[in-house]
Structure 1
Amino acid sequence: MTSKTLHNQSTSGGDIVKYALALLLAAAGLFAFYWFDGQWPGGVRVLAVVAGLVAGALVFMTTVKGAETREFLSESRFELRKVVWPTRQETTRTMWVVIAVVILMSLLLAGMDLVIQAVVKWLLGNG
């Protein structure tokens, strides 16, 4: 959550047109990928999809929701700078603890499974 006040802005007609244009550009890239199958090399077709997605994203970023998205990403980047990342040694130690616990729990569950299986066989008279 942000400390800034969130004000609810209604969607304008221009934003709706931009949303439709962004979707249309992304769909056009996807359409080109399938339409030109066999005519264009695969790399060019993939570039058509990427170009459509990038163009659609650029159009989207000019809307109110796009501005909110840019602000959110900016705040997220700022918060990530505050994170104290573990050292390589801490990460390695934690990894070995996790591996040991997983092995221990799998052995415990396998043992419980064998006990339950033996009890069920005994109850059914098959053991």
Structure 2
Amino acid sequence: MLDKIKLIIAAGLIAGGIVGFYYFEPETAFLYRLLGMLAAFIVSLVVVKQTIIGTAGWDFGRSAYVEIRKVVWPTRQETFQTTLIIFVMVLIIGLMLWLFDRVLLIGVQALTGQGG
């Protein structure tokens, strides 16, 4: 039950930050309104972090970061070569499909008597 209350408070903080951003538009500078909205978002994140859902989300994010660090990313040369291979294959398949379509068109025209 306490978690639900915290989540409602966090949602209220986010809504309050957005409402405040637009409510103070005529008389307050954009930077101050933006900082106020960001402060409301940060406080709401701190409140959500105190819940079971927030803790699970934080743990998931940390685990995802650890997994990203384990990935062996391709070098610039490998990326270029892979992109080039894909480009060439798309070009070849496109030409094959065009040729197949052309042959079918000629065949249909011959069967139906259309075309000069």
TM-score w.r.t. structure 2 length?
0.76
Residue identity in the other structure for 2:69: R
Structure 1 residues 76 and 121: CA distance shift in structure 2, 3 A: same
**Counterpart Cα distance in 1 of 2:102 and 2:27:** 60
- What is the root-mean-square deviation in Å for CA atoms of aligned residues? 2.7
Alignment partner, residue 68 of structure 1: 56
Taking only the aligned residue pairs, the percentage that are identical comes to 33
Query: Does the 8 A contact of 1:30 with 1:48 survive in 2?
Result: no
Q: 1:112 to 1:55 in 2, by over 3 A?
A: farther
- Asked if 1:57 is matched to 2:45, the reply is yes
Consecutive unaligned residues of structure 2, counting only runs of 5 or more, are none
Q: 3-state SS of the aligned residue for 1:81?
A: helix
Q: What residue is the counterpart of 2:26 in the other structure?
A: 38
CA 76–120 in structure 1, closer or farther in 2 if over 3 Å, else same: same
Q: Distance in 2 between matches of 1:88 and 1:101?
A: 20
How far apart are 1:105 and its partner, in Å? 4.4
CA distance in 2, matches of 1:43, 1:122: 71
Give the stretch that moved more between structures: 82-91 or 114-123.
114-123
For the pair 1:77 / 2:77, whether they are aligned, the reply is no
- Unaligned 5+ segments in structure 1 are 1-12
Higher helix share: 2
Secondary structure at the aligned position of 2:70 is classed as coil
Name which of 77, 90, 105 aligns with 1:89. 77
> How many equivalent residue pairs?
115
**For residues 35 and 115 of structure 1, do their structure 2 counterparts lie closer, same or farther at Cα, with a shift above 3 Å needed?**
farther
